Amino acid sequence: MSPRRSSRTPKPVLKPEINPEIEEKIKKRKASVSNGKNKATKKVKNEEPEIEEEEETPARSVEFRFIGDPIPKEVAVARWPDRYVPELIEQIKEENTKRIKRGAKEDELEEIMEVKSHYSKAFVDGIEYNLNDDAHVLSDKPASPFICKIIEFFETVDNEAYFKAQWYYRITDTVCRDAVRKLKSDKCKEEELDVESQFMEEFDPENQLIEEFDVENKSKELQDAELKKKNKKNKSKNKPKIDHTVHLHPKRIFISEVKDNNPLELLLGKVTITRIASNVDLKTKEEKIAKCDYYYDMKYELPYKSFVSIPLEDTNESATSSGESGLSTVGGVCESATSSGASDLSLLDLYCGCGAMSTGLTLGAEVGGVNLVTRWAVDVNVFACQTLELNHPETKVRNECAEDFLSLLKEWQRLVNQYVPSDGSNSIVQGSEDLEEVEEAEEVSPGEFVVESFVGISFGDPKVNAANLQAKDDDKIKATEIFFKVRWSGYDSTEDTWEPYKGLSNCEDKVREFVRMGHRSKLLPLP
């Protein structure tokens, strides 16, 4: 790929939920900056921006390009299906629509881009980058660039070069930013910072902070009063000093699951990041820290504004560095790949309620080094399903009775056995090309509806199933066959309808495509 040059002036990264005065200052600053798209988009949620004056980053010329041939289309589709498969792209659009209805902001939506090809290497300003490298990314503060792991290199249909970043957070980027600023300042109240000092003074057995004096001719009350007075007088000048920033190591960062797309030319340089287990001794930890640019030992959960421990790796390999991270990316999803063989397990939560039990199991499994993910959940209570779906958008939640769901799994297994090759090959690309040839050969009669794709599956008509949930046992209509949710050619998602499988005998190719795609994306659980 031929090199390109970019002259950019980055815009400041704005934070949501700011008061009008701060917003006005930001608007004034923003007016003096160019309106170009080239800026890093790291998410810092619900945290007010600093009000200090920021130095504008001068524009600079950057040479960048991808290296080598594109990744073969079949490999790219298998690894990043959400970039190429139309049905998955449509699902992302629908999920974004749901999030908007829930009040999500624009920066909380998943960005959809038309991708032409993926690459494994890139060149920016004389530096070669590979997938899974850690790097600095241009930010609005030159002295404090963003930090990320590169998990994708891709080119759009408009010939624009991008990379997808998985972000690391400094402590000042998290919910602790105000507390950190307070700790570093001299404005903290003594009772907030010097608890340890007060404890030492109150319970010092040798009374070293109190001057010696003669107590032979004094009453007990007077002795106590003078002791208290002298103790208070000498408190400020004699108490031991505590370093309250001892845990704010400048190299310490926190990995997150926040990922987004950024222009390739924003990369500034490679860094070395080491993962350090929480159980290593101090000497070993200091040695590892000295050899890296940054280290992390915890994960920052942005949606919950919390810090969580990362499952321990094998004691012989407690840390991994850039390019050998304990987090690997497969299909755009970050998965644990610890050297101890800690496995990724998928959980089906029947009678899930609001998801408290499965959430507890997930957190408990992390302690044991197992990455347990609730991928599917089923419950008859519509409000419980809505709550779980809101709190856990990564979970496929179904509002139906467990009996119908079990029947659906049996039918799904039959469809997988019929349409997915037994040798394990499941090429969506080949299937899509075959379908395009069939569609070109077919002629559509006037007034005839054409199936564009299937976007859902259910055992029984979902409308009837919903009515059954409210009906008495004697009034329930028993489901007997599967239904597909049909997306009609020339119509949008608001015109989707549920159709019985037996009425779709002319759509076997579409059924095959849906089953293969669903099997690959784990639409439903199978043993």
So what's the pLDDT on residue 69? 94
User: For 37-72, what is each residue's pLDDT tens digit?
Assistant: 455 656 554 444 444 444 555 555 788 999 999 999
Q: Yes or no: say if 498 and 483 are a contact pair by the CB < 8 Å rule.
A: yes
So what's the pLDDT on residue 89? 85
pLDDT band for position 303 (50/70/90)?
A: confident
For residue 419, is it within any domain?
A: yes
Pair 332, 470 in one domain: no
Pair 86, 194 in one domain: no
Neighbouring CB atoms inside 10 A of 167's CB total: 25
Q: Which structural domain range is residue 213 located in?
A: 189-238
Residue 272 has pLDDT above 90, yes or no: yes
- Is the model more confident about 379 or about 325? 379
Q: Yes or no: say if 407 and 458 are a contact pair by the CB < 8 Å rule.
A: no
d(CA 147, CA 215): 63
d(CA 66, CA 355): 44
Pair 57, 95 in one domain: yes
d(CA 484, CA 498): 6
Pair 229, 316 in one domain: no
User: For 478-516, what is each residue's pLDDT tens digit?
Assistant: 888 899 999 988 888 888 999 999 888 888 899 999 999
Complete edge-to-edge strand list for the sheet that includes strand 371-379? 344-350, 371-379, 396-399
Neighbouring CB atoms inside 10 A of 112's CB total: 14
- Name the residue type at position 315: T
Q: pTM surpassing 0.85? A: no
Residues 134-143, mean pLDDT to the nearest whole number? 90
Pair 331, 348 in one domain: no
Residue 318 has pLDDT above 70, yes or no: no
For residue 105, is it within any domain?
A: yes
Q: What is the DSSP string of 509-526?
A: HHHHHHHHHHHHTT-S--
For residue 406, is it within any domain?
A: no
Neighbouring CB atoms inside 10 A of 400's CB total: 21
So what's the pLDDT on residue 17? 40
So what's the pLDDT on residue 322? 38
Q: Yes or no: say if 128 and 122 are a contact pair by the CB < 8 Å rule.
A: yes
Residue 188 has pLDDT above 60, yes or no: no
Pair 40, 99 in one domain: yes
Pair 153, 256 in one domain: yes
Residue 11 has pLDDT above 70, yes or no: no
Helices (H) then strands (E): counts for the chain: 15, 21
Residue 271 has pLDDT above 90, yes or no: yes
List the single range of 197-211, 406-420, 428-442, 462-476 with lowest mean pLDDT.
197-211
Pair 259, 164 in one domain: yes
Pair 374, 517 in one domain: no
Pair 280, 206 in one domain: no
Q: Yes or no: say if 148 and 137 are a contact pair by the CB < 8 Å rule.
A: yes
For residue 244, is it within any domain?
A: no
Looking up tokens 């070293």 gives 208
Pair 96, 227 in one domain: no
3-12, 94-103, 403-412, 422-431 — which one is most confidently predicted on average? 403-412
pLDDT band for position 263 (50/70/90)?
A: very high
Compute the C-alpha angle 247/252/258, nearest 5°: 125
The tokens describing 106, both together, are 């624009």
Pair 448, 484 in one domain: yes
- Name the residue type at position 309: S
What is the total count of domains within the chain? Answer: 4
pLDDT band for position 373 (50/70/90)?
A: confident
CATH number assigned to the domain comprising residue 24:
2.30.30.490
Domain boundary among 355, 374, 399: 399
Residue 236 has pLDDT above 90, yes or no: no
For residue 183, is it within any domain?
A: no
d(CA 316, CA 320): 11
